[in-house]
Amino acid sequence: MSTSNEDLCHSSPVSANNKLAAAIDCVIVALGDEDARISGERLAALISGATRCYVQRLQRGDEYFSPFHPDTEITATEAMILSTEVLKSADLQLFELGMWQAMGSPT
């Protein structure tokens, strides 16, 4: 018997080891709902937290993995929009990104 992500969001108490995974599954389900109304502030907090977690793993030498789930198609347009907004938020220019990559990033 398999459990869907939606079932995990409404299940009884989850063991301590699975609480974060269950919470992430609930967020994924909620974000998949086109009627979901998440505030910009909460979405920014989610993106910020996920970004920090991803970078920390790469910097400590964990095995590389794509920032996007292999079963989730991210279009070139989505990747470009997100990349542009991340650079703007960090007050960086494309030139600076190019210089960073040329120096060899610490990941």
In a domain, 78, yes or no: yes
Total-model pTM: 0.71
Could you give the C-alpha distances from 11 to 1, 23, 31, 75, in angstroms and in order? 15, 11, 19, 33
Residue 6 has a pLDDT of 44
In a domain, 25, yes or no: no
- Burial (CB < 10 A; 0-12, 13-18, 19+), residue 58, is middle
| Structural domains counted in the chain | 1
Closest CA to 87 of 70, 73, 68, 101: 101
Structural domain range at position 90: 74-107
Contact between residue 4 and residue 11 where contact means Cβ atoms under 8 Å apart: no
Residue 78 has a pLDDT of 94
In a domain, 103, yes or no: yes
Closest CA to 25 of 44, 45, 11: 11
Residue 29 has a pLDDT of 84
Instruction: Give me the tens of pLDDT residue by residue for the chain, a chain 107 residues long.
Output: 344 444 444 444 556 558 888 888 888 888 877 666 788 898 899 999 999 999 999 999 989 999 998 988 899 999 999 999 999 999 999 999 999 889 886 66
